[in-house]
Amino acid sequence: MKKKLAVAVSGAAVLVLALSSCTSDDADKFTADDWAKKYCDQAQPQLKKKTDAEQTIRQTAVDSKPAQIQAADSKAFQDLSDVNKALAAALRGAGTPPVDNGEKLVQDAAAELDANSKSYLDLKKQIDALDAKNQQKFADGLQPVATGLGKIEKNEAARKRLNQGDTGEAIAKQPGCKAPVVSSPPAA
């Protein structure tokens, strides 16, 4: 009787260990994908809004009058500020990915997005302050705006780190994080 009990107890212990080791590997992989899905589902509408705003800036810059450029860029910069703020919130809302330094990766990327959001608001203020009635002054005033835009576009080191390794692989699998397709303007 004691032998049967010992065999049953040891068999149960082996089964528990086997099940826990299998599920922990599967759970880690699932959790990385689950984290990415949670983030990318929230990011998807923001990525579309970002693409639209960037396309507006490019299209308006060609053959537009200063007042048109000013209005379009002002709205686009506000939209881009909102997008970056929402993406930072989506990262924080998705929680910590189950990777080495996952919490730091998310904190750094979210802080970077917050900084870009503020920088876009600064560009909006700059473009709003330009004199659209004086074409030369307006053109001269666009130079610092373009420089600021270039700096924002280069501020992506933390997001690049987030998009590498296990988090990058998990994000790449998610349809919500795929860049929206830009439609080309109709031919004239």
Single-letter amino acid, residue 116: N
Structure tokens at 43: 């990011």
pLDDT at 62: 79
Whether 137 and 1 have beta carbons less than 8 Å apart is answered as: no
How high is the pLDDT of residue 116? 97
**Quick one: 125 exposed, middle or buried, by C-beta within 10 A (0-12, 13-18, 19+)?**
exposed
Q: What percent of the chain has pLDDT over 90?
A: 72
pLDDT reported for residue 61: 82
Where would I find the H helices in the chain?
2-61, 66-94, 102-129, 135-154, 157-162, 165-172
Q: What confidence tens digit (pLDDT) does each residue in 97-141 have?
A: 999 899 999 999 999 999 999 999 999 999 999 999 999 999 999
- The mean per-residue pLDDT over the stretch 89-96 comes to 95
